[in-house]
Amino acid sequence: MHARVDPAALERFASGLDELRQEMIRKRFDHESEFHNLHQFWDDAVFKQYASKEEAMNDYMHRFLQDAEVFVSQLRTKAGLARQVGEYRF
């Protein structure tokens, strides 16, 4: 079985994923700042329950962002290898 890979398409996908990851990092930072400010005005049992869910979501988001960073790197490596293979074809 043979697969055809377009290195440029891989690179575009990696760039798009990296842009999304960067945007999510910025939005996550903004959200965390807003949430911290909210805590100054809202501190009851409901807030504590919400904060617990918020912490779990932040952990999940952190893992996703780390995985996306690794995946972007792997995609770019694969695109480079595909480009090299394409240059050696007759």
Encode pLDDT of 19-78 as tens digits. 999 999 999 999 988 888 888 888 888 888 888 999 999 999 999 999 999 999 999 999
**Helices H, strands E: what count in the chain?**
2, 0
Reported as a pLDDT band with limits 50, 70 and 90, residue 1 is low
CATH of the domain at 64: 1.10.287
Total domain count, the chain: 1
Q: Identify the pLDDT of residue 87.
A: 78
The model carries a pTM of: 0.78
Is residue 2 a part of any domain in this protein? Answer: no
Whether 29 and 62 have beta carbons less than 8 Å apart is answered as: no
Which residues form the domain of 19?
Answer: 7-88
Q: Which of the pair, 77 or 87, is modelled with greater confidence?
A: 77
**Interval 3-27 mean pLDDT:** 94
Distance CA 72, CA 14 (A): 5
Record the tokens describing residue 34, joined without a space: 């807003």
